[in-house]
Amino acid sequence: MGIYVHVPFCRSKCFYCGFYSVASDRLKEAFIRALCAEVDLRRDYMGTLGVETLYFGGGTPSCLSLSELQILTEKLENVYCISPFAERTIEVNPEDLNAEKLEGWRRLGFNRLSIGVQSFQDDLLKGINRQHTSRQVLEGIEMAQHLGFDNISIDLIIGLPGQSPEILHQDLMQALGLSVDHISVYMLSVDAGSVLEKRYQKGLFCPLSEDELADRYDVVVQLLKEAGYEHYEISNFARNGKYSTHNTSYWQQKPYIGFGPSAHSYDLASRQWNVSNLKTYIESLNNKELNFEREELSCVDYYNEYVMTRLRTMWGIKGKDLREKFGFCWDHFIGQMRRNVERGWAVEGRDLFCLTESGWLVSDKIFSELFL
């Protein structure tokens, strides 16, 4: 199984961000205590399953000091049986990439860095309220590689305000120059509650049209594939087999437990999510209470989720597996998928069904037609 830890602190709020986080570290100590209490209270939730992946996300986990991170990792190590070969990822912002922190993260067992680069253009970064510069990215990644991190992922965004096709091309070229084995490329979305949403509502920001985004996505896919990256999931590209094991386990319906405010958990039969409010999260755990909502998954929910997550990846769906698990919806599935094959959005071969890259671009439509 996987463990996800949501660290809900950021130095400031990026204008596009809809994730739950707070731009103040006032409650950091209380959060660390609360998270340890949550780990204790939920120690029986997944039984004795071994842990294959550990993922510290957020928020900005690299905002935490090494001693704070140590308290959390030791707590998890004391309660769970974490494989010595586990993938242990920490999401970091480039301004935190210094020798002290990098060495500390390695000592704590993190063997994979996921770095929020977004763009290499300093004026674009300022325009979305990121706190780093491209120089910090370049120097920080070089230092991380020098200190032994050989599993590094970077995030980039398509469609940032002011990002012309030429600038996007430059960003990609700089990304390729870094020699990292994993690149995630997300399309900018106008998330509820974000600054960008307010600007959009006031007419101060005009997002790219779907066609413009699609054209840019095509260019990104082509360039990364030419550079030897496998396009293994809608937004993810890897070289040398360095897929994100943690995220891949979400797409393969493996169980995971999420700690921290707003974190989700999945135990194969139900899904639950913690309260998305740091203060309430801490208060509940101070009273030794868990504060979450829960949803039991019906057969139909499970089928919908299976189809949506599996088809996001290049591994697709094996017909035999789907018939065994969801025989009752095979006729619906095969009818829809053959339509998608005719539209050029899917391929069928030896009882295996995958979406094409043009299918991934319209995946929301495909999934809604496949859902029951």
Q: Contacts with ligand SF4 in 219-248 (CB under 6 A)?
A: none
Task: Report the residue from 7, 10, 69, 117 that binds ligand SF4 according to the rule CB under 6 A.
Answer: 10
Q: At closest approach, how far in Å is the CB of 189 from ligand SF4?
A: 12
Contacts with ligand SF4, 86-125, as mask; x by CB under 6 A? -------x----------------------x---------
Q: At closest approach, how far in Å is the CB of 59 from ligand SF4?
A: 5
CA distance from start to end of the chain:
28
Alpha helices in 147-269 (DSSP H): 165-177, 195-201, 210-226, 245-251
Peptide bond into 58 cis (omega under 30): no
What type of residue is 349?
A: G
Distance CA 308, CA 170 (A): 33
Q: Where would I find the beta strands (DSSP E) of 28-78?
A: 51-58
Please, which residue, 156 or 317, has the CB nearer to ligand SF4?
A: 156
Q: How many of the chain's residues bind ligand SF4 (CB under 6 A)?
A: 11
Q: At closest approach, how far in Å is the CB of 93 from ligand SF4?
A: 6
Distance CA 113, CA 45 (A): 28
Q: Report the b/e string of 23-42 with b at 16+ CB within 10 A.
A: eebebbebbbebbbbbbeeb
The token pair that represents 263 in the structure block: 């974190």
Q: Contacts with ligand SF4 in 18-57 (CB under 6 A)?
A: 19, 21
Number of H helices, E strands in the chain: 15, 15
Q: At closest approach, how far in Å is the CB of 198 from ligand SF4?
A: 15
What type of residue is 317?
A: I
Please, which residue, 116 or 159, has the CB nearer to ligand SF4?
A: 116
Please, which residue, 19 or 330, has the CB nearer to ligand SF4?
A: 19
Please, which residue, 17 or 219, has the CB nearer to ligand SF4?
A: 17
Q: At closest approach, how far in Å is the CB of 27 from ligand SF4?
A: 16
| Number of neighbours of residue 165 by Cβ within 10 angstroms | 11
Task: Report the residue from 5, 52, 59, 115 that binds ligand SF4 according to the rule CB under 6 A.
Answer: 59
Task: Report the residue from 14, 69, 175, 180 that binds ligand SF4 according to the rule CB under 6 A.
Answer: 14
Answer yes or no: are the C-beta atoms of 152 and 182 closer than 8 Å. Answer: yes
18: which DSSP letter?
A: -
Q: Judged by CB under 6 A, does residue 13 bind ligand SF4?
A: yes
Q: At closest approach, how far in Å is the CB of 95 from ligand SF4?
A: 10
Distance CA 295, CA 74 (A): 30
Candidates 233, 140, 236; CA nearest to 181 is 236
Q: Judged by CB under 6 A, does residue 58 bind ligand SF4?
A: yes
Q: Which secondary-structure segment (H or E) carries 139? A: helix 134-146
Q: Judged by CB under 6 A, does residue 184 bind ligand SF4?
A: no
Q: At closest approach, how far in Å is the CB of 7 from ligand SF4?
A: 9
What type of residue is 301?
A: D
Listed ranges 11-19, 204-212, 250-258, 279-287: which one lies at the site for ligand SF4 (CB under 6 A):
11-19
Q: At closest approach, how far in Å is the CB of 279 from ligand SF4?
A: 18
Residues contributing to the site for ligand SF4 (CB under 6 A): 10, 13-14, 17, 19, 21, 58-60, 93, 116
